[in-house]
Every structure is written in structure tokens, then in C-alpha cells.
Amino acid sequence: MTWRKFSGEVIQSPIMEEVEKAIEREALLGNKLKVCIGTDSQVKGSVTDFATVIVFLREKRGAFMFIHQERTSQKMSIKERMLSEVQKSIDIAYKLCDLLDLYDVELEVHADINTNPMFKSNAALHEAMGYILSMGFVFKAKPEAFASSYCANKIVQ
């Protein structure tokens, strides 16, 4: 699984190592971190592009993120696509949660799902929320889900 920085620089080491290095570096700089993980997708013809981001929020000092992109030609309903986004975010959150606990870093999982029933993505809201919460993660949906709705969204556009 290939990850990169926002600058485009490819991360050569395993993502767990890179996250730990980032946490240690930020701690040395005196920054308190929160990590938000989110995924967004975009359908382009017969292809769906996914972008998953790990956003590191520095309390009162900006943020930085790591990005993973993938592409599939598998046909999906809107609900399947929303739940695939959630699955990708949970996979990363699950890999990182012990490390984040070790360093006392708060974790949120963001879903690019609208809480307004007028939007198609709302069809997946209850399943996504139940899945994320049952895994023990803090859940955020639109409009609070900036990691998926803004950060990941910028990558797949």
C-alpha cells in the first residue's frame, strides 16, 4: 500500500513507522496532536477513485496529512460506495489505534456521508455510524467530517 505526503513525496517506510515518526517529531516540537482518518471517492465513467487520508491536527498550529489512493472498476451502488469508504477508513484506524493510544493521541473516523436525508449518501448513514462506533472509534459525519469531505475530496477531484 503506497502512501504519500501532500507534497507528492512518496513515503518509503511502512505507514505505521511514518506515523510514529510524525508523532514523535511533533511531540518534540511541543505540539499536541489529534488524528482524523477519512476516505472519499469519485466515480469517473466506469472507474471509481478512492482517497484515504490520515490528517494530523496540531492544536492551534495547522495540520498535515498522508494520502493513499486506489482505483477500482467494480460497479457499486451509492450505499456500497459509501460503506467502502468507511471500510477503508476503519482499516487504517484499526491499524493505527494501538500506536495512537500508546502516545495518547485522540482519533476520529470521518465519513463523507450527509446527515440530511435529502442527500443520496444518507442511505448509508446508520450502517456507517453503527460500524464505526461499534469498533470503538469516534464518528463524525458531514458537516464535521472534514478529513473525508474536504481533505480526501480534494485528492479525488
Contacts of 148 (CB under 8 A, 6+ apart): 38, 39, 40, 53, 85, 89, 110, 111, 112
Query: What is the tens place of the pLDDT at every residue in 5-28?
Result: 999 999 999 999 999 999 999 999
User: Are the C-beta atoms of residues 111 and 88 closer than 8 Å to each other?
Assistant: no
**What pTM did the predictor assign?**
0.94
Rounded to whole angstroms, how far apart are CA atoms 123 and 117? 8
Q: Which domains does the chain have, with CATH numbers?
A: 3-156 (3.30.420)
Q: How far is CA 153 from the centre of its chain?
A: 10
User: Are the C-beta atoms of residues 35 and 56 closer than 8 Å to each other?
Assistant: yes
Query: What is the tens place of the pLDDT at every residue in 93-150?
Result: 999 999 999 999 999 999 999 888 888 888 889 999 999 999 999 999 998 999 999 9
Q: Retrieve residue 89's grid coordinates.
A: 477508513
Query: What is the tens place of the pLDDT at every residue in 72-84?
Result: 999 999 999 999 9
**Looking at the DSSP assignment, which residues form a beta bridge with residue 40?**
51
123: buried, middle or exposed (CB in 10 Å: 19+, 13-18, 0-12)?
A: middle
Rounded to whole angstroms, how far apart are CA atoms 136 and 124? 19
